[in-house]
Structure 1
Amino acid sequence: MCGIAGKLYFKTREVNSQAEKSAIRSVLSKLHHRGPDDAGSFLSAKIWLVSTRLAILDLSAAGHQPMISPDGKVVLVFNGEIYNYRNLREKLKNKYSFKSRGDSEVLLAMYLHYGIKCLAFLRGMFAFVVWDGRLNKLFLARDRLGKKPLKYYFDDNFFAFASELKALISQPGIPSIFDETVLQEYFTNGYVKSPQTGYKNIFKLPPAHYLVVSSSGKQSLHKYWDIDYSHKLNLSENEWIEILSDKLVECVKIRLESDVPLGFHLSGGMDSSLVCAIAASVSGKKINTFSVGFAENEYNELPYARNIAAAIGSSHHELTVRENSLKFLGDIVKSYEEPFADPSMLPTWMLMKKTGKMVRVAINGDGGDENFAGYPRYLFWKYHRQLNSLPWQKEAVSLLKIFYRILKIRSLSVVSGKYLPALGKDRVNAYLSASALTGEKEVGLLLKKNRKHFQKMQLNSLDDVLAYDRKSYLADYLLPKVDIASMAHSLEVRSPLLDHTLFELSAQLPDRLKINGLQRKYIMRKIIARKFPGLPIRQKHGFLPPLASWFRGKYEKQVRDEFFDGVLSGSDLFDMSYINKVLKEHAEGINDHAYLIWSLLCFKKWLGQLNIL
């Protein structure tokens, strides 16, 4: 696992080596947290590449990057893990003389032998860049689901890339200018969709794509992978249980190899519990599990994780996130770099910090919901027509809002503020509303201008919905949250349920084995019941902190002071009278505006740090 960056000049005959060496040192310092074990650079006439290394496999100097071909003409920088590298190494053993035991050299050898077509053979998480001096071209690639990030900037003079934005905008000639066109999307969904980043002219390389950049500046972007949902296998439920069980074991086992200590993130929900149970059964030793919870009982899932840990016999470690953890939000927002407002970024950050003190690799359960239809909104999409025919919808909204004011139960606010109002829309827009962090009406009142119209799309089947979430919500929201938080603490996170071969297999699964009646992830429940009977599984809530009560408690005044200190009002982006109304309604318990307040708070801190990342 590494941090990578580089720069290719188009017009300059030869770079100013002293100036570039200074830039290289600055970039390496910005990426140190992603790779504290080693750092290296390559500098030639028109290009430089750098890497910081978090050593996981082959801890010797033989794994040093940038990695250079035997003839000195091809240079690789690589961030990630290739889980099938041993098989690939065996394939090339008579064609390449290996000097190391790790996967980086195998990747270089694969490129030397197959060129761009090497991507078809790779099973893992990766973002890598190859400078091919034979062709005078730069080759950038990102893994199929977007586990590892890769950002880039270009103008008429040069092309630059990096694992993180801070390594780009710290360089001379790369401006850090806020892209206001992302505002509506950010406040609606809590993140910025690819290829945008929140900065003008800085882009994300989309998952499952590669980019070729010539020394003259010509660019060519290509998609190299997607999922075909059209072919469903006609198998019995029992056959599917066995096939998927074998695949899940395979996906876990190939992620257990590590030359450094390894642990597991356990929430107590279905996905992480299954991953941990499989690992405990195949690893041959007691595993370490890590869980996070909250002091507030309604939000705390530690008891459920504790039950799973006892059932599988793990060495269990817990962390309780309390209200005062909000003091870290400025540092967290600075690390996330883009406008980003997933409320679970706070407990995720704290969990990664604790885990990184004990192990170098953690394995989690991300990907189960996107594979097997686990989110409640999938039920909302499936039964939208039936729900839309229900009478008394407006009356139900009003009644639930009254109950919320009395009971302060978050689920009442979600149903009355998100799901029921969405019923009046067509199925696609109803689903998008149910997926949103903040309602369309509230965002419209907040922003002085509607700066972007959302793209129209077709969501005609459950497969369409799953594909949409995989390419947006998963790639731009969930995975960056984990990557940034983990790598900020020099921790590698692996996700067996994000194996692309599992996605390809689950795409052939009929809908009835994903959603059966009102039961989500139906086939996963059946697998657990057969393979790990008695395992105490429940549907987890997620790592969502009790923001509503926090913003009515000790942080109420602090948030108000932050919003009216001149940063937001000085931006001329927001209706400050509406923000005042939102704070007042939330404080008095009239409405739950916790997520909108959270999004504003994260954006305000990001905006204030715009030029100092």
Structure 2
Amino acid sequence: MCGIAGIVGPLASDFRLAQMLETQIHRGPDNLGKWVTEGQIALGHNRLSILDLSEAANQPFQSTDGRYQLVFNGEIYNYLEIRKKLESNFTFRTQSDTEVLLFAYIQWGEACLQQFNGMFSFAIWDTLEKKLFAARDRFGVKPFHYAFFQDSILFSSEINPLWKAGISKKPKDSVWAGFFVKGTYGQPDETFWEGIHQLPSGHFLTFQGSNLQIKPWYDFIGNLSKQPEVNPSEMEEFILDLLLDSVKLRFRADVPVGFNLSGGLDSSTLLALVSDLFPGNEQIEAFTFFTGDERYDEIYWVKEMLKGRPYPLNTCLLQPSEVPDLTSQISRLQAEPFGGIPTLAYSKVFKSAREKGILVLLDGQGSDEAWAGYDYYLKNSVSLVQGVNTSPVMPQALVEEFAGQFEGSSYPTPFADSLLNLQYRDLFYTKIPRALRFNDRVSMAFSTELREPFLDYRLVEYIFSRPVEFKIKDGQQKWLLRKIASRFLGDQIALAPKRPLQTPQREWLGAELSDWVEAQLQLLTSKTNWFDSKNVMAIWDRYKKGEQDNSFYLWQWVNTAELLK
């Protein structure tokens, strides 16, 4: 996992590219590479060495004949299997997945994307055709941002490098309005900033001359009808094999690997699978955070799960006094709103892992969307927030003219089944894109790589395509996953109801952090014309009196104030 950046057009220069790379150096401190033809093309790379640690695998990576230049962020987990398909036609100089990716593109063109099981965003420059080809993985685990400026296209792994290159920092009011009115984060190609776009997940782009084309390459819906026919009596074993293979692939690395644990079903199952594959490996370390508040902390359950297993546990304490400085630090790197104090707690996990020399962590992201794990799936609700009874947003605090800029949030409904449509929305438009955005930026802030075994496309497609009775049975969500997990875990864990990952955010904001919150709210209303300041302060007064059951909207405001500084 790394950082990539590039410029195609008259703005291409060594100096501007170097500024962009320096801005995201935390993504790859091991090597900074550039390939520049002034006024035409500039490609850059921040390397975090995970596979083939030699200098031969540094990027930009050039084809043997010099025609192609590649910059690549992510991992191709099945690179060894693809390499075997290519060895008869190519001579390999490295042991890296980077070289496999480039040769796969030379061999198959854009069809190479169908071969990859991984998380990736990359760009290839064809020096003969003067053409840029870039692509992003199926679920958008790895980011790709781009902008047009002075007859050039600029791209990078994060937003800050584009600002550094000269793109103005101007809020996109329609996206911000949607965020405050409905809690949305824009469409798959949008960011919170005017002129800065995302390449949507499962898409590729080409840029030649002044012609930009963006096309989908991943046909999730089409693939659902191509799933293998498995006898119901053998389905459990088939899924377990997929899970084990997904974990095994994601342990491919030339650096130490660990995992992020909570006390829930997903990470417990992940722990069980790791134990099954690597039963005596004491080099695999576990990490978890806690706040010292027993109402929310899951450290007891984490320790129970680790009993009898050889994996050392690293615990990371988050205290309320740390929140203001951490919010400032993480907001600068995120450059867009993020989920709340749990993201700050995660930052301590990644920092701890880096300090221990663990550069790769696995976690359980992606299970709820495929296996129907959220409470609102049972209610057939359009909710976007788990575990909240009242509206999580406060549009009444907004100035009417600003709120009216929200253009509405409509999502495709390609299925006859409403549950499938909710799952599809969460996979490609709401939950997963948002969580992956937070997770990439907070892990890379500390030069660590995060891998998600539950987002292996083979697993997601197969589980998604199963009838509802395999996902929800007798009111029990993620039923088949629980059944599989019960082989390894006690029923106390395997059958426990889902608990949202939480911290004492609601309590801290209204008590220990109330002075800081009030200062942030004053800053927010003075920096923008989006809010009715009297309404904001009235809502804040009620919050301090304990009249609200969630802090989602309050975190929105506090976080936004930090982002607009």
TM-score above 0.5? yes
Name the counterpart of 1:400: none
Give 1:497 shift. Answer: 0.6
Aligned counterpart for 2:522 among listed residues 564, 582, 586? 564
Name the counterpart of 2:236: 241
Question: Contact 1:291 / 1:351 at 8 angstroms: preserved in 2?
Answer: yes
Give 1:273 shift. Answer: 1.1
State the Cα deviation string for residues 319-345 of structure 1 (Å, max 9, x = none). Answer: 222211212111111111123344421
- How far apart in 2 are the matches of 1:540 and 1:295? 21
* Structure 1 pair 110–117 and aligned structure 2 pair: CA distance change class (3 A): same
Gaps of 5+ in 1: 382-426, 609-613
- How far apart in 2 are the matches of 1:346 and 1:568? 24
Question: Contact 1:123 / 1:500 at 8 angstroms: preserved in 2?
Answer: yes
Give 1:34 shift. Answer: 0.4
- How far apart in 1 are the matches of 2:549 and 2:331? 23
Aligned counterpart for 1:36 among listed residues 29, 37, 53? 29
2:448 is aligned with what amino acid? L
- How far apart in 1 are the matches of 2:312 and 2:386? 38
Q: The residue matched to 2:564 in structure 1 has which SS?
A: helix
Aligned counterpart for 2:319 among listed residues 318, 322, 327? 322
* Structure 1 pair 30–570 and aligned structure 2 pair: CA distance change class (3 A): closer
Q: The residue matched to 2:289 in structure 1 has which SS?
A: strand
Give the number of equivalent residue pairs: 551
- How far apart in 2 are the matches of 1:532 and 1:562? 44
* Structure 1 pair 245–230 and aligned structure 2 pair: CA distance change class (3 A): same
Q: The residue matched to 1:144 in structure 2 has which SS?
A: coil
* Structure 1 pair 64–435 and aligned structure 2 pair: CA distance change class (3 A): same
- How far apart in 2 are the matches of 1:278 and 1:183? 41
Name the counterpart of 2:125: 131
1:377 equivalent to 2:376? Answer yes
Name the counterpart of 2:3: 3
State the Cα deviation string for residues 71-124 of structure 1 (Å, max 9, x = none). Answer: 111100000000110111111112111110010011011111111111010110
State the Cα deviation string for residues 360-403 of structure 1 (Å, max 9, x = none). Answer: 1111111111111111111111xxxxxxxxxxxxxxxxxxxxxx
Q: Report the more deviating stretch, 591-600 or 174-183.
A: 591-600
Q: The residue matched to 2:295 in structure 1 has which SS?
A: helix
Indicate the RMSD between aligned Cα atoms, in angstroms.
2.2
* Structure 1 pair 230–431 and aligned structure 2 pair: CA distance change class (3 A): farther
1:442 equivalent to 2:399? Answer no
State the Cα deviation string for residues 166-197 of structure 1 (Å, max 9, x = none). Answer: 1111013x222111111222223263442111
- Show the 5 A alignment for 1:347-358: 347-358=345-356
Give 1:356 shift. Answer: 1.9
* Structure 1 pair 480–456 and aligned structure 2 pair: CA distance change class (3 A): closer
Name the counterpart of 2:297: 300
Question: Contact 1:169 / 1:176 at 8 angstroms: preserved in 2?
Answer: yes
- How far apart in 2 are the matches of 1:535 and 1:84? 35
Name the counterpart of 2:364: 365
* Structure 1 pair 305–74 and aligned structure 2 pair: CA distance change class (3 A): same
Aligned counterpart for 1:271 among listed residues 254, 261, 266? 266
Name the counterpart of 2:513: 555
Q: Report the more deviating stretch, 586-595 or 293-302.
A: 586-595
- Show the 5 A alignment for 1:413-424: none
Q: The residue matched to 1:478 in structure 2 has which SS?
A: helix
Question: Contact 2:227 / 2:461 at 8 angstroms: preserved in 1?
Answer: no
- How far apart in 1 are the matches of 2:491 and 2:308? 9
- How far apart in 1 are the matches of 2:233 and 2:67? 53
Name the counterpart of 1:23: 16
Aligned counterpart for 1:220 among listed residues 207, 213, 218? 213
- How far apart in 2 are the matches of 1:255 and 1:87? 14
Q: The residue matched to 1:222 in structure 2 has which SS?
A: strand
- How far apart in 2 are the matches of 1:71 and 1:488? 36
Name the counterpart of 1:176: 169
Aligned counterpart for 1:92 among listed residues 86, 96, 100? 86
Name the counterpart of 2:134: 140
Name the counterpart of 2:285: 288
Give 1:461 shift. Answer: 2.4
Question: Contact 1:128 / 1:142 at 8 angstroms: preserved in 2?
Answer: yes
TM value normalised by structure 1: 0.86
Name the counterpart of 1:404: none
- How far apart in 2 are the matches of 1:562 and 1:60? 47
1:50 is aligned with what amino acid? G
Question: Contact 2:389 / 2:549 at 8 angstroms: preserved in 1?
Answer: no
- How far apart in 2 are the matches of 1:435 and 1:182? 24
Identity percentage of aligned residues: 30
* Structure 1 pair 203–435 and aligned structure 2 pair: CA distance change class (3 A): farther
Q: Report the more deviating stretch, 488-497 or 522-531.
A: 522-531
Aligned counterpart for 2:410 among listed residues 434, 456, 472? 456
Question: Contact 2:256 / 2:360 at 8 angstroms: preserved in 1?
Answer: yes
TM value normalised by structure 2: 0.93
- How far apart in 2 are the matches of 1:330 and 1:132? 40
2:468 is aligned with what amino acid? D
Give 1:432 shift. Answer: 5.1
Name the counterpart of 1:335: 333
Q: Report the more deviating stretch, 534-543 or 485-494.
A: 534-543
Give 1:541 shift. Answer: 2.5
- How far apart in 2 are the matches of 1:471 and 1:212? 22
Give 1:256 shift. Answer: 1.0
* Structure 1 pair 165–575 and aligned structure 2 pair: CA distance change class (3 A): same
* Structure 1 pair 43–351 and aligned structure 2 pair: CA distance change class (3 A): same
- How far apart in 2 are the matches of 1:293 and 1:61? 39
Larger C-alpha radius of gyration, 1 or 2?
1
1:466 equivalent to 2:465? Answer no
- How far apart in 2 are the matches of 1:552 and 1:435? 19
Gaps of 5+ in 2: none
